[in-house]
Structure 1
Amino acid sequence: MMILYVLRRLVAGLVLAVLVTMITFALLSTSFDDVASSIVGSGATPDLVEAQKAQLGLDRPLFTQYLDWLSHAVRGDLGLSYFTSEPVRSAIAARLGVTLSIVLAALLVTVVISVVLGVLAATRGGAVDRIAQGVSMTGYLVPNLLIAIALVYVLAIELHWLPATGYTPLSEDPVRWVTTITIPVVALMMSGVASLTAQIRGAMIGELRRDYVRTLRTRGIPTRSIVLRHALRGAAGPALTVLSLEFIQMLGGALIIEQVFALPGFGQYAFNASLQGDIPIIMGISLFGVLLVVGVNLVVDLVNGWLNPKARILS
């Protein structure tokens, strides 16, 4: 049953990827003339533009062009950049590692802080609860970009503790890698901590009021065991759903963060390709983005099914 469920989700994900890339290609088709003009240069004439479109195959029927791209994409060939002739697949893979290193680090820190704050706020209340709600309110109200600018000013310009821009790969220098991603990670995780802390706090309060918790207490089960082994497991399902949404939001937020900190990542690559109208790159990024989101949601659903068999049955 689980295998059938996974296969259904994979098929649905592939259908979604086809639909998204098809719509993206249809929208890009309105800019074929502009793309050809950009490649030819400032001295482009209508004849040169048409010749460039013919060379790129942009003069063919739209559906034929899309099927040609899709047939190559299925084989792992996403084409070459119109402007640099760089293979799109290898370029995206190289830059995706930079973005994922930031996003996954931000996600990990978000989970740790949110679980600690949410559980303590639900179980102890008082000052801890007010601190948790204050953190959530700050994350909701203050934009990530403003947080990033403030951190750069304080930690990089004034105190000189961390670099303001740039990126060092983990394989070259682990310590330098940590210093280069610290400010981007903190800026990226604030809204996630706000959402996830509030979700865990509310879910834990609800779990601790349920009948099975009272039964466990009457049997003399330690409070720590009840909270960590039972209530937290019950509250994890909704929190995982929020976490998957935060992952997607962080990928989008990386577009801005990478521009601010001059990071050679997926977001900056997508931004530059969009400005140039580099169609193979935009199509490749759309495909990678959809598959990444589908994969994350599938993993979250499987973990939810493991934590709560009822969720698997309802799915």
Structure 2
Amino acid sequence: MRALLLRWITTAVPLLLGVSVLTFVLASLVPGDAARSMLGVNATPQQYKQLRDELRLDEPLWQQYWSWLTGAMRGDLGQSLQSSDSVSHELVGRLPVTLWLVAGAVLFAVVLGIGLGVAGAVRGGWVGRVVDAISLVGLAIPTFWLGLVLVTLFAVQTQVFPATGYVAFADSPLRWFESLVLPVLTLGIGSAAPIAQQTRDGVLAEQERDYVSVLRARGISEKRILLHVLRNAGTPVLSVVGLVATGLFGGAVLAEIVFVMPGLGSLVVNAAATHDIPVIQGVAVVFTLLVVVVNLLVELGYGALNPKVRT
């Protein structure tokens, strides 16, 4: 465990540094700046120059980045150029929305994907072909189109779930659940496809191994055999789940826009539109940390499924 944490730290630090540098440079190269966005096109050159001086936008890029980095090393991610609010405060307020959305989508995708994959492997025949078809369709459907279809069916026509918005769990657990259903389904349906395909292929491969025949010869029930098979086939499935989870952080940006959810995705889109570089930097750092944490959890999962990995 100690070696794993040490390797995780040595990987996370240079990754965070590289992402922050790349994000800062790319955001700075975008035409326009926060001063022009705040003042509009009717501002005088004097007003524009004065605001740039106040925001310290005239400093060299390396100096701006160094000022941000030294503050970030102390836990201070700076202030939003648009709202003058602390970036950390904005991130803390919006992070739970994105986490609930991604966690719900991963859970739904895992349950649906493993269920379909096991059914396709155990049943075979037309069930296996249906799983393959569902996997192809799930990979081909655009996320934004699926979201619009779900809104039309369940929010406009039947009015079962709300079309937009988010309710905090502390305010109303029931409304919180209802506000997450459609965005979670939007992200989870497509994400279940690769999990189902990997589960089906892994179970089929494990069923052909000699130990399965030995277990059957000993009179072990098919359910217990299936549990052994799933455990041995779980490592590649877990790898796919990790890839799906990290990809969903990007998908959450689109889902939050479609369903008007106040998460990190909508925050970074608004910040990009107004050239609010400190907010963009903060969101990039948080997303990078979340990806690193997901990879750590996947490695811990490897050790739980296969004791050889721990040694």
- TM-score when scaled to structure 1? 0.93
| Greater alpha carbon shift after TM alignment, 204-213 vs 131-140 | 131-140
Deviation at 1:46, TM superposition (A): 4.3
Residues 188-203 of structure 1 aligned to structure 2 (within 5 Å): 188-203=187-202
Whether the 8 Å contact between 1:33 and 1:49 is mirrored in structure 2 is no
Q: Provide, for residues 77-125 of structure 1, a one-character-per-residue CA deviation record: whole Å limited to 9, x for no partner.
A: 1111111111111211211111111111111111111111111211221
User: Where does residue 158 of structure 2 map in the other structure?
Assistant: 159
User: Where does residue 299 of structure 2 map in the other structure?
Assistant: 301
Report the AA paired with residue 257 of structure 2: Q
Q: Provide, for residues 236-295 of structure 1, a one-character-per-residue CA deviation record: whole Å limited to 9, x for no partner.
A: 111111111111221111111111111111111111111111011000011001111011
- Work out the CA distance in 1 between the residues paired with 2:119 and 2:245: 24
| Greater alpha carbon shift after TM alignment, 206-215 vs 31-40 | 31-40
Residues 145-156 of structure 1 aligned to structure 2 (within 5 Å): 145-156=144-155
Whether the 8 Å contact between 2:68 and 2:77 is mirrored in structure 1 is yes
Whether the 8 Å contact between 2:33 and 2:274 is mirrored in structure 1 is no
Q: Provide, for residues 166-213 of structure 1, a one-character-per-residue CA deviation record: whole Å limited to 9, x for no partner.
A: 211111111111111111111111111111100111111111111222
Whether the 8 Å contact between 2:38 and 2:274 is mirrored in structure 1 is no
User: Where does residue 13 of structure 1 map in the other structure?
Assistant: 12
Secondary structure of 1:164's aligned partner? coil
Report the AA paired with residue 231 of structure 2: R
User: Where does residue 260 of structure 1 map in the other structure?
Assistant: 258
User: Where does residue 242 of structure 1 map in the other structure?
Assistant: 240
- Work out the CA distance in 2 between the residues paired with 1:66 and 1:271: 21
Report the AA paired with residue 254 of structure 1: A
Q: Are residue 88 (structure 1) and residue 87 (structure 2) matched?
A: yes
Whether the 8 Å contact between 1:106 and 1:189 is mirrored in structure 2 is yes
Q: How much is the aligned-residue C-alpha RMSD, in angstroms?
A: 1.8
| Pairing partner for 1:231 from 229, 232, 245 | 229
Whether the 8 Å contact between 1:78 and 1:89 is mirrored in structure 2 is yes
Secondary structure of 1:156's aligned partner? helix
Residues 269-308 of structure 1 aligned to structure 2 (within 5 Å): 269-308=267-306
Secondary structure of 1:231's aligned partner? helix
User: Where does residue 169 of structure 1 map in the other structure?
Assistant: 168
Report the AA paired with residue 205 of structure 1: L
Secondary structure of 1:191's aligned partner? helix
Report the AA paired with residue 287 of structure 1: V
State the number of aligned residues. Answer: 311
- Work out the CA distance in 1 between the residues paired with 2:38 and 2:149: 39
Q: Provide, for residues 7-66 of structure 1, a one-character-per-residue CA deviation record: whole Å limited to 9, x for no partner.
A: 122111111000110111122233485322223333444454343333222323322322
- Work out the CA distance in 2 between the residues paired with 1:60 and 1:273: 20
- Work out the CA distance in 2 between the residues paired with 1:91 and 1:162: 27
Deviation at 1:159, TM superposition (A): 1.2
Secondary structure of 1:264's aligned partner? coil
- Give unmatched runs, 5+ long, in structure 2: none
- Give unmatched runs, 5+ long, in structure 1: none
- TM-score when scaled to structure 2? 0.94
Whether the 8 Å contact between 1:33 and 1:53 is mirrored in structure 2 is no
User: Where does residue 204 of structure 2 map in the other structure?
Assistant: 205
Structure 1 outlier segments of 4+, above 6 Å: none
Whether the 8 Å contact between 1:81 and 1:280 is mirrored in structure 2 is yes
